[in-house]
Structure 1
Amino acid sequence: MNDAELAAHLAQVAGKLLLDVRASGVLSGQALGKAGDETANEFLCHALRTQRPDDGLLSEEEKDNLERLSKSRVWIIDPVDGTREYGEERTDWAVHVALAIDGRPEIGAVALPGLDLILRTDRPLPLAPCPKTPRMVVSRTRPAKEALDVAEKISAELIPMGSAGAKAMAIVRGDAEIYLHTGGQYEWDSCAPAAVALAYGLHVSRIDGSPMIYNQADVYMPDLLICRPEWAERVLSLLG
């Protein structure tokens, strides 16, 4: 099984495990989110350490091992991206499995278990036609001021949504054209979505136009822009 197949397989299996945990009906809300995180993380980390023992590993749910900084290949995972949405039994949450190579988001898969979908770097599909009026995905609970300002200037329709992975995959799937985030994230929030978006031919960058670089000592990532190439220059100019 090559790296892309492994990423997709692990994301899919973790998603099924999470659906099973939720379907048990034993837990709800924050307790359900915690149980889901722990279950998916245990599976993913064990599988990656078994299948790719020489690679580095960074997970939201594991204590960071800085030995990864000496590795060229580092798996970056988010067992449940959108724990709140998962606990609320919504569909806008995701599982992220990515491989960064020399800091670049090269390979990855994003599972959307609530929608029975998995998007992966080795099976990109053609992008849908780009509409004249853009749609912008924003946080359903705390949309960033910068995103709201840009949306107003380009007359974009706002689409509130949960997890970062769900928002990024909305662009990949053709359900929106722009995902602009300035509220701060971490490497696991965007590595797999960035890898998939790049494979599909989308624009992926920081809001100053610089590339997204992963496997850093400080895993905080202040901002990102994932959008249709047709909108990249315009959005970046409004943020400069």
Structure 2
Amino acid sequence: MDDLALLEGAARQAGEIALSFFGGDPKTWFKDNKSPVSEADLAVDGYLAEVLLAARPDYGWLSEETTDNSDRLECQRVFIVDPIDGTRAFLAGGDEWTVALAVVENGRPTAGVVYSPVRQEMFTAIAGKGAFINGEALEVSGQASILGASLTGPHSIAANKDVLNAGFKRSANIRSLAYRIALVAAGRVDVAAARGSASDWDLAAADLLVQEAGGRLTDLSGQGVRYNQAVTRHPALIAAPERLVSPVCELLSRLVG
């Protein structure tokens, strides 16, 4: 079984596990960074670690819900996992939370899936072979300028009056960052923005989707993202079609960077 098939099968089953808690009242607490975590997150994380590492015992492991181990830095290939991306949405009964899984080699994703169990959308990508949703090819939008472009992101960015005055149309924020970026890959949203502090597990799978759909995920200087480094958090980022990367980075770095 190739890496993508492994990730896709694991994501579907992980989604079923998460759905068994969805709409109920799972035990929930807060981590040191004040973000919520629930027994559903841990159940999915445990399943994914068992299944993926059994299939690829030589791969490293980096997950939001597993204590980090620097041994991953010595591995040629690493699983980067967010068991439930958008836990706040999950706990509130929202439908945009996802399971986000990637394989990273030499700092870049080579296979990735972002799965929305409630919406029944499976986004998949392999480096050099395109990106797909439920088997249909993805392509970023053809939007040629900021004027009239749709932007999704946190309130501090998407509702910034200077951002809106520049011509962006504000779209509803998507509480799963992986899904937010996947929507750019699908051409449903022109630009997605993220504040500083997003982590590898929020980004790696969706990064590959955007890349393979003809866009890029970059920091506000236009530099791409490297994964499985000692530090797993990243500065403010945007995902956009290639032609919009430079003007969006210039605008946001000046206004909200």
TM-score by length of 1: 0.90
**Who is 1:100 aligned against?**
104
Question: Distance in 2 between the 1:218 and 1:41 partners?
Answer: 21
Amino acid at match of 1:130: G
Where does 1:130-145 land on structure 2 (aligned, <5 Å)?
130-131=142-143, 133-139=148-154, 143-145=155-157
**Who is 1:154 aligned against?**
166
Superposition deviation, residue 149 in structure 1: 5.9
Matched, 1:199 2:212: yes
Where does 1:57-136 land on structure 2 (aligned, <5 Å)?
57-122=61-126, 123-124=131-132, 125-127=137-139, 129-131=141-143, 133-136=148-151
Matched, 1:49 2:53: yes
Superposition deviation, residue 51 in structure 1: 0.5
Change (3 A) 1:22 1:211: same
**Structure with greater helix percent:** 1
Superposition deviation, residue 223 in structure 1: 2.1
1:127-186 deviation per Cα after TM superposition (whole angstroms, max 9, x unaligned)? 2653462100112xxx23488366325311111221101211221222210012123211
Amino acid at match of 1:135: S
Change (3 A) 1:53 1:29: closer
1:4-31 deviation per Cα after TM superposition (whole angstroms, max 9, x unaligned)? 11111111211121112225x3x15847
**Who is 1:211 aligned against?**
224
Superposition deviation, residue 40 in structure 1: 0.6
Superposition deviation, residue 228 in structure 1: 1.6
Preserved contact between residue 86 and residue 98 of structure 2 (Cα < 8 Å): yes
Change (3 A) 1:231 1:150: farther
Question: Distance in 2 between the 1:79 and 1:165 partners?
Answer: 11
Change (3 A) 1:149 1:74: farther
Change (3 A) 1:50 1:149: farther
Question: Distance in 1 between the 2:77 and 2:12 partners?
Answer: 22
Question: Distance in 1 between the 2:209 and 2:13 partners?
Answer: 18
2:206 match: secondary structure: helix
**Who is 2:6 aligned against?**
6
Change (3 A) 1:53 1:182: same
Corresponding residue pairs, total: 235
Change (3 A) 1:131 1:47: same
Give unpaired runs (5+ residues) of structure 1. none
1:41 match: secondary structure: helix
TM-score by length of 2: 0.84
Superposition deviation, residue 61 in structure 1: 0.5
Preserved contact between residue 195 and residue 235 of structure 2 (Cα < 8 Å): yes
What fraction of aligned residue pairs are identical, expressed as a percent?
25
Question: Distance in 1 between the 2:194 and 2:60 partners?
Answer: 27
Change (3 A) 1:185 1:126: closer
Give unpaired runs (5+ residues) of structure 2. 30-35
